[in-house]
Amino acid sequence: QVQLKETGPDLVQLTQTLSITCTVSGFSLTTYNVHWVRQPPGKGLEWMGAMWNGGGTDYNSAFKSRLSISRDTSKSQVFLKMNSLQTEDTAKYFCARLSSSWELDYWGQGVMVTVSS
C-alpha cells in the first residue's frame, strides 16, 4: 500500500541547515509528484514545494532561495534541505503524494523539528 515516511532531526541549531528525507513505498517517484508541507505548533498548514515526477521542482517563493528539494528514485526517497534556519522554522514537516487529479491523497506522519538557539 501507499506509504510515506519522513525522517530527520528533532533539533537543529539556529542558522544551520535542515535535512529531511521522505521515503515512499507503494508507488514510483517517476509516476507521482511529492510535495512538502509544514505546520508550526498550533498553527495552520503551509505549502513549501514539490518534486515533480519528471524530476523538476517547484518552490514557494516565501522560502526564497533557502529551500532545495531533490530525490533519489533508486531509493524511493525525496529530500528537503533548508538553510539559514530561524526559530520560526520550528514546525512539523510533512511529505505528501500528489495524485493524478492534483490532490494530496497520502501523507506521511510528519517529523517535528525544533530550531534552537
Q: Note the residues at the interface with other proteins (CB under 8 A).
A: 35, 37, 44-47, 58, 60-62, 94, 96, 98-99, 101-105, 107-110
* Between 79 and 106, CB nearer to other proteins: 106
User: Among residues 6, 24, 15, 25, which one has the least CA distance to residue 117?
Assistant: 15
Nearer to other proteins, 72 or 103 (CB): 103
Closest to 18 in 3D by CA, of 72, 87, 71: 87
Q: Which is nearer to other proteins, 14 or 45 (CB)?
A: 45
Closest separation between CB of residue 74 and other proteins, Å?
Answer: 26
Minimum distance from CB of 111 to other proteins (Å)? 11
Q: At closest approach, how far in Å is the CB of 25 from other proteins?
A: 16
CB 6 within 8 A of CB 21: yes
Q: What residues contact 38, with CB distance under 8 A and at least 6 apart?
A: 45, 46, 48, 91, 92, 93, 94
Q: In the numeric block, which cell numbers belong to residue 15?
A: 542558522
